[in-house]
């Protein structure tokens, strides 16, 4: 799934069971152990990884929403 609920707010999508076969797009990350040396990924590590990733392709800047008078 390349678009998920609230992805336009730059939310994360964590997934598994893809056996490392999907390329991450934006703020996605395969947390399956088979894609991570058979080890769990800590939240601290996830946070660091996600902050370094590019924004989601459908990210709407908060200032844009304010100008249009929309709510999250």
Q: Say if 56 falls within a structural domain.
A: yes
Q: Say if 36 falls within a structural domain.
A: yes
Who contacts 5 (Cβ-Cβ below 8 Å, separation ≥6)? 11
**What is the domain count for the chain?**
1
The answer to whether the beta carbons of residues 36 and 53 sit under 8 Å apart is no
Q: Say if 43 falls within a structural domain.
A: yes
Q: Say if 45 falls within a structural domain.
A: yes
pTM of the predicted protein model = 0.79
Q: Say if 34 falls within a structural domain.
A: yes
For 17, the token pair is 């069971």
Along the chain (72 residues), what's the average pLDDT of each consecutive run of 10 residues?
A: 88 90 91 94 97 95 70 62
Segments forming the whole domain that contains residue 53: 7-68
Q: Say if 29 falls within a structural domain.
A: yes
In this predicted structure, what is the pLDDT of residue 51? 97
Q: Say if 2 falls within a structural domain.
A: no
């Amino acid at each position: 799934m390349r678009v998920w609920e609230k992805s336009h707010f730059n939310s994360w999508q964590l997934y598994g069971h893809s056996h490392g076969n999907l390329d991450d797009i934006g703020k996605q990350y395969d947390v399956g152990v088979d894609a991570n040396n058979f080890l769990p990924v800590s939240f601290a590590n996830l946070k660091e990884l996600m902050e370094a990733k590019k924004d989601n392709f459908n990210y709407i800047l908060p200032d844009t929403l304010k100008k249009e008078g929309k709510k999250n």
